[in-house]
Structure 1
Amino acid sequence: MREFTVPPLDAPPLVGGLADAVFHRAERFPERVALCRKNALGGWEEVTSARFRDEVLALAKGLIADGVRFGDRVALMCRTRYEWTLFDFALWTVGAQSVPVYPTSSREQVFRMLQDAEVSAALVEHEDHAMTVGSLIGGLPLLKRLWQLDAGAVADLTAAGERIADDVVHRHRRAVTPDSTATVVYTSGTAGRPRGCVLTHAQLMFEASTLTGHWEAALRGRPGEDASTLLFLPLAHVYGRMVQIAAVRGGVRLAHQPAVAGAELLADLAAFRPTFVLAVPYVFEKIYAEVRRTAERDGKAGNFEKAADAAVRYAEALEQRAFGRGPGPSAAMRVQHQLFDRSVYARVRELLGGRVRHAMSGGSALDRRLGLFFEGAGITVMEGYGLTETAGAATGNPPGRTKFGTVGPPVPGTTVHIAEDGEIWLHGPQVFAGYHSDPAATADVLHDGWLATGDLGTLDEDGYLTVVGRKKEILVTSGGKSVSPVPLEERVRSHPLVAQCLVVGDDRPFVAALVTVDQEAVDHWLAMLRRPVLAPGELVRDPELETEIRRAVVLANAQVSQAESIRTFRILAHPFTEEHGLLTPSLKLKRQAIEEAYAAEVEALYR
């Protein structure tokens, strides 16, 4: 199949902007809890629709009092927290445009984005951010105001706005039209310099309404439960931003957590108990690894492996039945599944708070077997696919018809087309209008309303899309063989000891790989072998570890031809990190930067 379209649920909005939802919901459901935020004691404080409306209105007055005008661009440099959402909707209330900046961005990156976006004001989280932006002011003549959250920015602006009448704010809000620019979001920069995607209120409203409408049944854990989600994705990324907007517009109770993984995130999942989560594959990989390690520590590794295999088989049978290709799980499967549910699968659900029955994964590919495992454990992880240029998801697996290993059919209102060279082209109301102040780059990707994504993919007979890699990432060996590195990397990464894998081989005689290890997983592995902890320098030369990684490489090679297979690999002492400029904030590999940083190691692979 070369093209597939799904009709829209609703027509694109004709009037209004994003902030209207805050005021409309407060009028209709004033006492309904809209958000939750952490109080001084670490507990969850409920914020009703009316209270959130009042806080947005008060902050909007303060922004006007401090000189923010309709159409101004304001940078937000902050982790995922309640105040980001508050500022976003206050800025949209007065007709200003927000410009997200990753809080981990380097000084050079911050300067490039603030200069390119021509921001007139900036909100930062703490003193370090303030010092970074403050050191750049000499080169940013349009930047006139700098607010710091941890220094009382919200209280100060609220106080400054007390003399502003409500009607002044509402005149600004009513002047916002669907085609007004809402935000300029910068791409992650995996393929070079980040570019600012101009997204309108209409595009974000259409995307949010499609998300809550199409997946409405999945947002609630069980019938009758109020929908809620814990947002821990970075709000500087369009994925996290869309979750925020959809929650506020759709009446989904929203809480924030700045940690993408780790003990802090697991603790808040357990305390907040969301009914639905949106995450990246890394989170699901970590939860799987945690349950597996716990079983191994308890001497139940064999039982876990049997449970995992049973979950996958059970989920495969459900998947086949959903598409009319099988009868579903057999009686024996159902009995075995029930036996493992309390001892293994319940633990998986507990780690997500106990109420989650559906989740969304995006940002990068989720391993099919991992998706099947979670389905068998009682949590349907639906993969989706989108770009900053599409304001979020362009495709997504629907509840009840999830096809694991794919990113689903187009979301309602969207068309997916596969070009002759395999490139994915997208068309729909959520496709952006262009890059800020970069018409040449815009012309490269937009063609009569169609977005050429730069990704390669295939559509199956049901209209489900599978993404196979990036056009610019295709390696061509010196023997002329074209190799897509992503599938190989994902298969190597499926080994529990592997953290990251980068496949190399462009203009080289064969394909090779750089591999980093998951230190926590390796420490656990050594403990199970009753071996002492090894320093990073010792690990890279450890023969048993090399044997384990070789097994992962052999399994990956079994899926490709000999010419495409990884011939050799090098274990690195340290992981690729965002701090060293080797990962994007959404944890994608910066290939060129990694190859440059490890040029000596790459050369050694070919000696």
Structure 2
Amino acid sequence: MREQSTPALAGPATGGLADTVYDTAELTPALELFSRRTEGSQQWRPVSAARFRDEVLGLAKGLLAHGLRFGDRVAVMSRTRYEWTLFDYALWSIGAIPVPVYPTAAAEQVRWILAETGAVACVVEHEDHAMTIGAVCDALPELTGIWQLDQGCVHNLTTAGAQVPESLVHRQRHAVTPETVATVIYTSGTTGRPKGCLLTHGNFAAESDNVLAGWERAFTPPGGEQAAALLFLPLAHVYGRMVQVAAVRGGIRLGHVSELRADALLPALTSYRPTSMHAVPYVFERLYDSARMAAETEGRGELFAQAAETAISWATATERRSLGHGPGPGPRLRMRHLAYEKLVYQRIRAAFGGRLRHVMCGGSALSRELGLFFSGAGMTVYEGYGLTETTAAITANPVAAPKFGTVGRPVPGARVAIGADGEIWVQGPGVFAGYLNHPRCTAESLRDGWLATGDLGGLDEDGYLSVTGRKKELIITSSGKNLAPAALEERVRAHPLVSQCLVVGDNRPYIAALITLDPRALTHWQLTTRRPPTDVWAALDDPDLHAEVQRAVAAANTAVSRAESIRAFRLLPSEFTVEQGLLTPSLKLRRQAIAEYYAADVEALYLG
């Protein structure tokens, strides 16, 4: 078993996560911890450490007045917003346990999570969420309260707790230890029913403190100004929660954005001007495609293509130098790079607010080419890897020597090993305490302090990890050929027209694929090829469109053997969605659900 480790940079945690709020307010009361804006506005107003402490304390008193006690579980069903962070720290102040629920969750999913956790109350964002809870509350006898954010529940609870002594909050806060459960976060459920991961205060403290120490250069802007991060990841996901905790512990000013759509995110980026960012590959794919299509629409497509090629060459040469394999960019490349700096790269950085130079990326695979492009444009993307069970990142690319196309080396304090069958095993202070009410699954996953991730991968000669797929997603054709589909799907998705790709072929004679199209990219392609714009349904009969997608498939096939290559594909009329149950809330493919939903299309791939 090959192993790689990195020494810890942060000492052991003490107390609970809420202690940071009170300590920071005592030491630096004027420090701007958050920036808030009203809905639809791009004006951000500061929230000081002292004010946030007072809001947390007031809400915590209100929760006690409502009858909440140490260890009670409270569900939170909302988009990412300031009030979610406020509830997290108020609940942690009294030793209660927030249970995140995705705002898109169906009633049955909500019922399952609230019933299994025994939630005594639920915070919802608006009336639709309240109705979802109401539809299943008859099956939830322990649920005694539903608090609605857009109905002023924060103010109402704070008012109700006005007479509760502050000492009662502090008594419960001081009883929290690093071993106390901080939250129950449910896995994405790509291969079965989601399971609740028990993550402790110590898990989050160790993860955030070691990441802050290891990537201090990435989080600290030059000139001594305060670091600023914009949180748009779902707080129902472990990655978003880790970013929240790290920002509070690191004194990084944090703003919240509720929508991941480009038309909502781009204005927020330009008005907030973050100095660092945490994102998922989807964000970079969408922003890159938007920049490319805008350039092509303006007649600058060739310029953008040349600038992209130069950025990738520049970042590749820089990467080789950082790894000790080359001298870095040569004179000609430096001159080309300088020429495109004002013409292209500055414009791209301006779309992110202009101050962004370092980005942490995780959640799914980011293509090497895209990582190189953004690095060459002046924003280094540090891709990492982690699970809900590891409190987000267990590996990440180091600041001094990122290797694009990999997920880096173990974060400080972590160890990574590769089993004989290629499975990735990890160990570290961020590894969870177990699955709620599932001792057998916990025993199967945790062995002697090591977590079996269920992912497949390998460590290269420099100790960088690459993830190749999931053990449960391996496809075995009728001829006995094994294939991890994720890498092949990612290569097909690299084509601008392709939105999603699902490779099939289990117990079949060859590999095939179901492919969906990006409606925006399709419209752009139709305009640039002088076709009348149509919807996806009408476009499926266009032979030139099929030929274009065939080129994407052929390009992906060059990286695999013939036995592993896609022999047939089918274009689908619509994208896979969370609402259909075909994607997880974190946008991962639900493979079995897709195969069942499109069973007739899969069969058609193997007829004749």
TM-score bin, normalised by smaller chain: over 0.9
What code does the residue aligned with 2:353 have? Answer: G
Indicate yes or no: 2:324 matched with 1:324: yes
Indicate yes or no: 2:26 matched with 1:27: yes
Map 1:110-189; keep pairs closer than 5 Å: 110-189=110-189
Equivalent pair of 2:469/2:485 in contact (CA under 8 Å) = yes
**CA deviation after TM superposition for structure 1 residue 59, in Å:** 0.3
**CA deviation after TM superposition for structure 1 residue 283, in Å:** 0.4
Provide Cα deviations, 1:4-42, integer angstroms capped at 9, x if missing partner. Answer: 0101012321x3100000001111110010001113672
Residue in structure 2 matched with residue 490 of structure 1 by the alignment: 490
Percent of aligned positions with the same letter in both sequences?
57
Structure 2 segments unaligned to the other structure (5+ residues): none
Q: Distance in 2 between matches of 1:229 and 1:535?
A: 38
Report SS of the residue matched to 1:466: strand
Equivalent pair of 2:517/2:536 in contact (CA under 8 Å) = no
Map 1:397-412; keep pairs closer than 5 Å: 397-412=397-412
Residue in structure 1 matched with residue 594 of structure 2 by the alignment: 594
Equivalent pair of 2:204/2:242 in contact (CA under 8 Å) = yes
**CA deviation after TM superposition for structure 1 residue 225, in Å:** 2.6
**CA deviation after TM superposition for structure 1 residue 311, in Å:** 0.6
Equivalent pair of 1:291/1:347 in contact (CA under 8 Å) = no
Greater mean alpha carbon deviation, residues 382-391 or residues 36-45? 36-45
**CA deviation after TM superposition for structure 1 residue 221, in Å:** 4.0
Q: Distance in 2 between matches of 1:347 and 1:480?
A: 50
Indicate yes or no: 2:392 matched with 1:392: yes
**CA deviation after TM superposition for structure 1 residue 222, in Å:** 3.1
Residue in structure 2 matched with residue 246 of structure 1 by the alignment: 246
Residue in structure 2 matched with residue 528 of structure 1 by the alignment: 528
Equivalent pair of 1:502/1:591 in contact (CA under 8 Å) = yes
Provide Cα deviations, 1:31-65, integer angstroms capped at 9, x if missing partner. Answer: 01000111367221110000000000000000000
Equivalent pair of 1:221/1:358 in contact (CA under 8 Å) = no
Residue in structure 1 matched with residue 106 of structure 2 by the alignment: 106
Report SS of the residue matched to 2:222: coil
**CA deviation after TM superposition for structure 1 residue 290, in Å:** 1.1
What code does the residue aligned with 2:472 have? Answer: K
Greater mean alpha carbon deviation, residues 551-560 or residues 222-231? 222-231
Indicate yes or no: 2:215 matched with 1:215: yes
**CA deviation after TM superposition for structure 1 residue 427, in Å:** 0.6
Residue in structure 1 matched with residue 475 of structure 2 by the alignment: 475
Q: Distance in 1 between matches of 2:220 and 2:303?
A: 31
Q: Distance in 2 between matches of 1:164 and 1:328?
A: 63
Equivalent pair of 2:211/2:412 in contact (CA under 8 Å) = no
Aligned pairs, how many?
A: 606
Equivalent pair of 1:119/1:142 in contact (CA under 8 Å) = yes
Residue in structure 2 matched with residue 464 of structure 1 by the alignment: 464
Residue in structure 2 matched with residue 439 of structure 1 by the alignment: 439
Report SS of the residue matched to 1:568: strand
Q: Distance in 2 between matches of 1:40 and 1:566?
A: 46
What code does the residue aligned with 1:330 have? Answer: G
Equivalent pair of 2:70/2:96 in contact (CA under 8 Å) = yes
Equivalent pair of 1:92/1:173 in contact (CA under 8 Å) = yes
**CA deviation after TM superposition for structure 1 residue 303, in Å:** 1.1
Map 1:17-416; keep pairs closer than 5 Å: 17-39=16-38, 42=41, 43-416=43-416
Q: Distance in 1 between matches of 2:461 and 2:565?
A: 29
Map 1:413-424; keep pairs closer than 5 Å: 413-424=413-424
Give RMSD over aligned pairs. Answer: 0.9
Equivalent pair of 1:12/1:429 in contact (CA under 8 Å) = no
Q: Distance in 1 between matches of 2:378 and 2:39?
A: 35
When normalised by structure 2's length, the TM-score is 0.99
Runs of 4+ in 1 over 6 A off after TM superposition: none
Q: Distance in 2 between matches of 1:132 and 1:294?
A: 40
Residue in structure 1 matched with residue 4 of structure 2 by the alignment: 4
Q: Distance in 1 between matches of 2:40 and 2:395?
A: 41
Equivalent pair of 1:95/1:176 in contact (CA under 8 Å) = yes
Indicate yes or no: 2:536 matched with 1:575: no
Report SS of the residue matched to 1:328: coil
Provide Cα deviations, 1:352-382, integer angstroms capped at 9, x if missing partner. Answer: 1111000011010000011000010000011
Provide Cα deviations, 1:552-598, integer angstroms capped at 9, x if missing partner. Answer: 00000000000000001001000000011000111100000000000
Equivalent pair of 1:196/1:436 in contact (CA under 8 Å) = yes
What code does the residue aligned with 2:430 have? Answer: Q
